[in-house]
Structure formats: structure tokens, C-alpha cells
């Protein structure tokens, strides 16, 4: 059974179920109103007649919905739409009177049990007394279908807009991520060139690690967010290159809470932060430098810190942080992924040096999948 057929059957069931409820409520209301009479209405015939009445309405309503679906209200066709439905509303009223009279004919009157309801009597009563009600009922169904159609189109446009926005964000994120590759490659090749004559073995190791990093950074199948464990594994390869460059001039300390290794982080988010710390905090120094990397959970957020023991910012505030392509892209990627629900700043560390602080919403792979 196709999905469209299932949907039609579902709505048929909804309409007849709703008619059943309304019929029962109408019977209850009529029965309660007549309790004070000397001879109150008989319950069973009352329910039977009300259900027949509302089932006739439900059956005809399906036809009205079909006509409304095949005669949509479109710009420039308002007059034609009104004329068609005006004519069909008359047909609906007459058909409803005929169908109800045919179904209820032969029943005993609930007001006068000794009287049998005839087809002609019912036709006059339903066709004349309930003519206006039948017309109102027809237009109620038409406008209800029209409202549902507009709502469904609105939801479809909303979903299409959301899908286009997601595709646009993905495209921008991919462009930002790929923009890091030539920048990263240039800096790493510069490191190789400085080692190739003085320390060929170290240069070989750097080239090997560089090939791994390029393979990972150019992998188009990688999602925009990966686990912190995977991101740290990528960062370790980069740190091997920097350790080969600086030898004993660089020490690295990691303070990673093991409970946050499954948290999601933007892919390649740590490398530009570490590169910035090494370039501005470690490289200008003549003595050895220290780099600290920490990760922990803090009030529903994942907190990442990259701290060096370099000069930091000048205390008088005349030196302002200058964000190159790496840090600029980092900020742009964070904004695309998290809107304003993130924190990224560069500040002087309490013990000296510069600290990059990053806070993003804490969520794991399973939460992201939902």
C-alpha cells in the first residue's frame, strides 16, 4: 500500500471517527434536554438517528474535500472558485437531505414513538429547515481544507528554507575548513625547509606526519563535528611536527578529562589555536617554552584552553590581538555551527603568557544523532 493511500485512509478514519464522536455528543445533548418531559426520548433510536445523520455528513464531506483539492484557490481565479463552490454547496445541501432522508426513513420518531418517519417528511424537514445549516457545513469543510492546504504549504516552504539554510551553512563551513589547508601546508613546509639541512631525520619524520595530516585534513567525508578524542589524535600528529622543529625548546602538557573525550568538537578546531600559541608564544623565545592543553566540562559546555608561557599581551592594552586566517576562520566556523551559543577569546593567562579559551555546547555523538 502506497504512502498516499495510507494517508487517505487515515484521514477517512479521522473524519468518520470525529463524526461518531459528534453524533454521540448530539444524542447525549438531546437526551439531557428532554429529561424533564413526561415521556423522554428513547435512547437507542436517538443514537441511531444521530449517527446516521452525521455519517451522511462525513460521507459527503469526503466528496467536498476531493472537489476542494481538485479546485484550489489560485490567484486570478477567485470568481471561478466561488461560482464552482456556490453551485456545489447547493448540490451538497440537496444530496445531504436526500441521503439523510433515505437512511433515517422507517425509524420511529424519538418525540412521538407511535409515528414512523417517512422519506417525504424527512426530505421536507432536512431540505427546508436545515438548508442554511447544510450550506454552512459545506463552506466550513471547504475553508477547513483551504486552511490545512495553506498550512501544509507553509510547512513545506519552511522545511525547504531550513534545508537550504543548512546546505548554505555546510557549504560555508566546508569553504572555511578548506581555506585552512593551504595556510597550514605553507607553515608546515616552512618547518620542513628549516630542518632539511640541519636535521634530515627530523625532516623525514615531519614529512611523514605532514602526509598523514594532509590526508586527514583533505578528507571530504569527515563531518563538521568529530569527537574530542579524534580531534586530539589529529592534533598529536601536528604536535609531533612542532616537537621535531623545536626539539627541547618545547614542552607540552595535557590536562584532558577522560569523561569528555566523547564530546563533539568542530573538526580541525584545535590545530589553529595551538599553531597560534606556538608561533606567537614559543617561537619568538630564545629559551624553552611551555604549552598546556586542557579540556573539561563546565556547566553544560565543553571548555577548551590552549595556554603558552610567552609574552602575552602588553599590559597597557596597546597591543591588541590580531587574528590571522586560522583564528578568523575558527571564529566564523563557531558562529555558523553554534550561533551565539559559544565563547572564544584570547586573553593573558593568570600565570603569564597567552590563553585561548573556547566554550561550546557539550553534546556527544548520540545526542547529535537525535
pLDDT at 234 over 80: yes
- Topology given in CATH for the domain delimited by 160-369: Heat Shock Protein 90 (3.30.565)
- Please tell me the predicted confidence (pLDDT) of residue 321: 55
Q: How confident is the model at residue 137 (pLDDT cuts 50, 70, 90)?
A: confident
Output phi, psi for 284, to 5 deg: -70, -15
Mode of pairing for the β-strands spanning 250-256 and 289-298 = parallel
Give SS3 for 356. Answer: strand
User: What residues contact 95, with CB distance under 8 A and at least 6 apart?
Assistant: 60
Q: How confident is the model at residue 31 (pLDDT cuts 50, 70, 90)?
A: low
pLDDT at 229 over 90: yes
Q: How confident is the model at residue 350 (pLDDT cuts 50, 70, 90)?
A: confident
- Please tell me the predicted confidence (pLDDT) of residue 119: 75
Q: For residue 107, how many C-alpha atoms fall within 13 Å in the half-sphere facing its CB? A: 22
- Please tell me the predicted confidence (pLDDT) of residue 279: 82
The predicted-structure confidence for 206-223, as pLDDT tens digits, reads as follows: 888 878 877 776 666 677
Which among 85, 123, 130 is positioned nearest to 103, based on CA atoms?
Answer: 123
The domain spans of the chain are: 3-129, 160-369
- Please tell me the predicted confidence (pLDDT) of residue 242: 82
pLDDT at 368 over 50: no
According to DSSP, the residues that pair with 256 across neighbouring strands are 295
Give SS3 for 268. Answer: coil
Residue 107: in which H helix or E strand, if any? none
Q: How confident is the model at residue 290 (pLDDT cuts 50, 70, 90)?
A: very high
Average of pLDDT values for 354-364?
A: 93
Give SS3 for 279. Answer: helix
The predicted-structure confidence for 37-96, as pLDDT tens digits, reads as follows: 555 566 777 777 778 778 888 888 888 888 888 888 877 778 888 888 888 888 888 887
* Burial of 209: CB neighbours in 10 Å, binned 0-12, 13-18, 19+: buried
Which among 339, 359, 357, 340 is positioned nearest to 348, based on CA atoms?
Answer: 357
Q: In the predicted model, what is the mean pLDDT of the chain?
A: 79
The predicted-structure confidence for 322-349, as pLDDT tens digits, reads as follows: 566 667 778 888 888 888 899 999 888 8
C-beta separation of 330 from 310 below 8 A: no
Helical spans, DSSP H, in 260-360: 270-277, 325-338
Average of pLDDT values for 187-193?
A: 75
Amino acid at each position: 500500500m502506497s504512502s498516499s493511500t495510507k494517508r487517505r485512509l487515515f484521514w477517512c478514519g479521522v473524519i468518520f471517527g470525529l463524526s461518531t464522536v459528534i453524533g454521540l455528543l448530539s444524542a447525549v445533548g438531546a437526551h439531557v434536554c428532554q429529561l424533564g418531559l413526561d415521556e423522554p426520548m428513547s435512547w437507542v433510536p436517538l443514537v441511531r438517528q444521530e449517527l446516521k445523520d452525521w455519517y451522511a455528513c462525513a460521507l459527503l464531506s469526503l466528496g467536498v474535500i476531493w472537489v476542494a483539492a481538485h479546485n484550489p484557490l489560485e490567484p486570478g481565479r477567485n470568481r471561478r472558485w466561488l461560482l464552482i463552490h456556490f453551485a456545489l454547496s447547493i448540490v451538497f445541501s440537496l444530496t445531504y437531505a436526500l441521503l439523510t432522508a433515505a437512511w433515517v426513513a422507517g425509524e420511529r420518531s424519538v418525540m412521538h414513538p407511535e409515528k414512523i418517519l417517512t422519506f417525504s417528511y424527512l426530505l421536507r424537514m432536512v431540505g427546508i429547515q436545515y438548508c442554511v445549516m447544510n450550506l454552512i457545513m459545506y463552506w466550513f469543510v471547504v475553508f477547513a481544507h483551504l486552511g490545512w492546504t495553506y498550512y501544509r504549504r507553509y510547512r513545506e516552504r519552511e522545511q525547504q528554507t531550513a534545508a537550504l539554510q543548512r546546505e548554505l551553512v555546510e557549504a560555508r563551513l566546508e569553504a572555511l575548513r578548506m581555506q585552512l589547508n593551504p595556510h597550514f601546508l605553507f607553515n608546515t613546509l616552512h618547518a620542513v625547509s628549516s630542518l632539511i639541512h640541519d636535521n634530515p631525520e627530523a625532516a623525514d619524520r615531519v614529512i611523514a606526519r605532514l602526509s598523514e595530516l594532509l590526508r586527514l585534513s583533505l578528507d571530504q567525508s569527515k563531518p563538521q563535528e568529530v569527537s574530542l578524542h579524534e580531534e586530539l589524535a589529529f592534533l598529536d600528529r601536528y604536535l609531533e611536527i612542532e616537537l621535531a622543529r623545536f626539539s627541547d625548546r618545547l614542552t607540552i602538557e595535557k590536562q584532558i578529562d577522560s569523561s569528555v573525550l566523547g564530546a563533539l568538537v568542530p573538526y580541525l578546531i584545535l590545530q589553529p589555536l595551538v599553531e597560534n600559541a606556538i608561533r606567537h608564544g614559543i617561537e619568538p623565545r630564545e629559551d624553552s617554552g611551555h604549552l598546556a592543553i586542557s579540556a573539561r566540562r563546565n556547566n553544560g559546555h565543553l571548555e577548551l584552553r590552549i595556554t603558552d608561557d610567552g609574552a602575552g599581551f602588553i599590559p597597557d592594552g596597546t597591543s591588541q590581538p590580531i587574528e590571522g586566517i586560522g583564528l578568523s576562520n575558527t571564529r566564523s566556523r563557531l558562529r555558523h555551527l553554534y550561533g551565539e551559543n559559544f565563547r572564544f577569546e584570547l586573553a593573558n593567562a593568570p600565570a603569564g603568557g597567552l590563553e585561548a579559551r573556547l566554550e561550546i555546547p557539550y553534546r556527544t555523538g548520540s545526542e547529535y544523532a537525535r
